[in-house]
Structure 1
Amino acid sequence: MIGQHLQIGDLISRAAKAFGDSPALIHGERVVSFAEFDSLTDRLGNALLDRGLEPGDHVAVLVPNGIDGVVVYYALAKAGLVRVPLNARETDVELDYKIEDSRARALITDGRTPRETEIVIPTTELAGMIERGSSQPCRVVRDQEAPLRLAYTGGTTGKPKAVILTTRSELAEVANFLVDLLPDLGPESVMLHAAPITHGSGAFFLPHLVKGGRSVILEKFTPQGFVDAAIEYGASSTFMVPTMIAMLVEDAVIDRDRLRLSRLCYGGAPIAPTLLQRGIDALGPVFAQLYGQAEAPLAITCLQPHEHTPERLASAGKPYTFVEVDIRDAEGNSLPAGTAGEVVTRGPHTMNGYWHRPDATAETLGSDGWLRTGDIGQRDESGYLYLLDRRHDVIISGGFNVYPREVEDVLLTHPAVREAAVVGVDDERWGQRVCAAVVVREQISADDLVEFCSNRLAGFKRPRHIEFWDELPKSSVGKSLRRTVRDTMGQTREVENA
């Protein structure tokens, strides 16, 4: 355990004392210093407790990318409130489920209210709450094993599950980043948040904060806009999903002489080695891969810049210093190098379990602390991990998880659709494309099916390619064989592109 009684708020107050009026956060014209950030989170944390919330309550957060979102996140941590971050790209139906499932007592929202909660706080009220909130330090001490935030994930069956992440796992992630990924962080470091802070990019805020580095948040990502901002602010590090890297190398004019980028961390989706090599050719040896998942966020293995040699571009790297990784067979036996099996991990970075799902927790998290990732991989003789497949067929498109069953269930609600199988097909720009093979009762166009999905699924979950098949391949027990569908997609049948 790291600093047994240490709280997230302690890191913020220490940074305020150490770095004072130096800029900590920049978004457009707004600049917030370390001292001001400490004060803002104290005042908002106290104001939230004054509204009747109690430590341990769950608070859903639907706030635009920006400084207010960061202030909300860490005010909740100081007040001992459990953050339930919501993805603004999801539909009201999807958000409604998460708010209900998490049993959120409050919703902090930019105006959308997918589900009523006991307390609803529009973002327009935040400034007033901060002004009225007590300036006294807000430091609710909770056990490091108590929930800090819930991160929704899912699988090919059932509804998305909420992963319980704790102060212990958050501090472990920070420690792993500082030791292995960003060992040179200091007051001159600048993190350019090109991706949403609700996603992987947000994990880089605390490591920079504790070392006096500043975080610059972009309003939105565009390839040339990123390059220009990186030069303007002297960015030393950033985080991207492979889709963003593809856009960067294809669409931006990159002036390496003016860039001081030393770490371009990437993860969240499969990446084609050819794309990675193009990135290295364009930006130099600055790439660092992060492999993780919601149950062990961004902190299972990493591939350092100097390890991005031609023969290892397909590798996910080696375990972080404070992380254990093994390859196991179905009986839980450790497998030798070169043998494929399930990737398992153990360490302080892992989840405590799934929110109110003890059976799923027991299936994923063993009594000995080993977490089953559901990913299939193998190690080489030097200990480098190579991921081969995802046991649960999760599709990762543009850095976002898409769960085939969820898309299939929507397609099957259309009266013309008899059967559906959804798979991910490799795509250099998006990592994977969501594709569907459907068997229909009556004639319908792919465009009509996509339109049908558009009102029920977030954009990144909608099929980008639909094929009409006479029948779907099935196992002996009648289960659709997604791997067979994926392997033959577009090869032998008439295709209609969505």
Structure 2
Amino acid sequence: MFFVNDDYYTLDDLEKQYAVFESMPHIRDCHNKRLAVCITDVFQWLALCLYIRRKGGSVVPIHPSTPKDGAVRIASSANSHLLLFGSIEFPIELTVKENEKEGVLVQMSSGTTGAPKCIERTWDSVEEEVDSYVTVLPADHTRKSIIACPMTHSYGLISGFFACVKRGAEPVILTNMNPKYILKKLQEYKKYILYAAPALLYTLSRFLPSDQKFDYVMTSGTVMPSSWLALLRDSSNLVLQQYGCSEAGCITLHPDVQNSSEMGYILPHLKVDAGNVDASGEIIVYTSAQTIYTKDIGYIENGVLSFLSRMDDMINVAGLNVYPQEVENILMDEPRITEAVVYKKQNALSGERVCVQYVSSERVDEIELREWCGKYLAPHQIPMEFIQVDEIEKLPNGKVSRKKLGGVLA
């Protein structure tokens, strides 16, 4: 059925776990109920998710590292009836306005540009996404999905786990994020797709022995710096990329990404509008049930959707648009810089200005960076503020909040 680290679970194990759920009224009677789940046992979490879906209930996945008070806050904001925190035996009852009319998967948006939103997706819409995703994914039942990302997020849960089961392959879920452990596990399989965040893929690429190669790797979540992608392509048989949003799940998939801004081809069950290469625009997604304004800027060329920036992240310098990714790629090409994030700060007199935090293998003089940027960027694109840090602050999902890094420029 599937692996969790070094443990293998069969269909019999799953049915035994279902029997345990049937003995617990607060889980058994989940039809038209919304259960928030924050537990560390990945097998139990997946079994519970599948069980609740079968029963017609709703589930709110909460990252297992979330503290109790935080989990209660998330569960309450998602209008949950119960919170299962730490274990399934002792539920925390919550006050809700009304029961569910239809079972849904509830997810919280990333919150990279503001307060997280509660997103509800019917189980039918999730199934429609999985069916569409499997038809375009260049993999059959012989290629496992190795999932090295949170199983409470749609990337790991839907694209990684549900889609792998749908195509008849066995998922391998890794919760031990030690790079050496992951590389060791990869050696156990000849054909696989590794699902991971860009930062982890980059780290694994650096640790990978020179005589070895990854099979297939999938990246998603944030645009990978061009230098990272080049390294990953050199060390992989195939690099894939997908793009999505909380409301629709996966929207596009690229079967062989060579430019990190190219998100790929639109999944068959969706329609997407965006600008063109000469006039970019907001990416708008049409599902069978709704129209989704993503607040992402991009364009479509030759059927491929390219992503430029979040609307909130784009920097307007005296009427000229600056896309953070373009500046980051130039900075990352400087040999000593290993990571960079570009964001905007507001100047009381001159408006928005470009700023950057970066991680380097050694101290780098700001004058050197300005000279480097001046070779490749227009004057309005060059950061006004360079801040060298040991580590760039990230959200629990591994993404960077540019809004959080910004502020007022003196």
**Do both share a fold (TM > 0.5)?**
yes
Give 1:320 shift: 1.3
Q: Deviations over 1:60-104 (max 9, x none)?
A: 111226322211211121222211111234455543321111122
| Aligned mate of 1:377, from 298, 305, 323 | 298
Corresponding residue for 2:118? 162
Q: Deviations over 1:249-287 (max 9, x none)?
A: 112325437x6x2x3111011111221111010113x11
Q: Deviations over 1:262-320 (max 9, x none)?
A: x3111011111221111010113x111000011121x2111112xx34xx443111211
Partner amino acid, structure 1, of 2:50: Y
Give 5+ residue unaligned stretches, structure 2. 315-323, 359-365, 367-382, 391-410
Corresponding position: 1:266 with 2:222: no
TM normalised by structure 2 equals 0.72
Give 1:116 shift: 4.3
Matches within 5 A, 1:260-299: 261=215, 263-284=216-237, 286-297=238-249, 299=250
Identity %: 17
Query: Bigger relative contact order, structure 1 or 2, given CA contacts below 8 A and separation 6+?
Result: 1
Conserved? CA contact 2:5–2:174, under 8 Å: yes
How far apart, CA to CA, are the structure 1 residues paired with 2:339 and 2:247?
Answer: 21
| Aligned mate of 1:82, from 49, 58, 77 | 58
Conserved? CA contact 2:2–2:9, under 8 Å: yes
How far apart, CA to CA, are the structure 1 residues paired with 2:6 and 2:41?
Answer: 15
How far apart, CA to CA, are the structure 2 residues paired with 1:160 and 1:377?
Answer: 23
Residue 71 to residue 291, structure 1, CA distance change in 2 (3 Å): same
Corresponding position: 1:209 with 2:161: no
| Aligned mate of 1:315, from 225, 239, 262 | 262
Residue 96 to residue 275, structure 1, CA distance change in 2 (3 Å): same
Give 1:170 shift: 0.8
How far apart, CA to CA, are the structure 2 residues paired with 1:150 and 1:276?
Answer: 32
How far apart, CA to CA, are the structure 2 residues paired with 1:27 and 1:150?
Answer: 23
Give 1:384 shift: 1.7
Conserved? CA contact 1:76–1:83, under 8 Å: yes
Corresponding residue for 1:346? 286
How far apart, CA to CA, are the structure 1 residues paired with 2:205 and 2:124?
Answer: 37
Corresponding residue for 1:64? 40
How far apart, CA to CA, are the structure 2 residues paired with 1:79 and 1:475?
Answer: 59
Corresponding residue for 2:374? none
Matches within 5 A, 1:116-155: 116-117=92-93, 146-153=102-109
Conserved? CA contact 1:60–1:104, under 8 Å: yes
C-alpha RMSD of matched pairs (Å): 3.6
Match of 1:83, SS state, is strand
Residue 193 to residue 488, structure 1, CA distance change in 2 (3 Å): closer
Q: Kindly indicate which of the two structures has a greater share of residues assigned to strand.
A: 2
Residue 487 to residue 315, structure 1, CA distance change in 2 (3 Å): same
Corresponding residue for 2:251? 300
Partner amino acid, structure 2, of 1:345: V
Partner amino acid, structure 2, of 1:319: I
Corresponding residue for 2:362? none
Partner amino acid, structure 2, of 1:339: A
How far apart, CA to CA, are the structure 1 residues paired with 2:20 and 2:119?
Answer: 25
Matches within 5 A, 1:95-494: 95-110=71-86, 116-117=92-93, 146-153=102-109, 159-182=115-138, 184-186=139-141, 188-199=142-153, 200-203=155-158, 204-253=160-209, 255-256=211-212, 261=215, 263-284=216-237, 286-297=238-249, 299-305=250-256, 308-309=257-258, 312-327=259-274, 335-348=275-288, 369-380=290-301, 382-393=302-313, 426=328, 433=341, 472-474=346-348, 484-486=353-355, 491-492=383-384
Conserved? CA contact 2:104–2:122, under 8 Å: yes
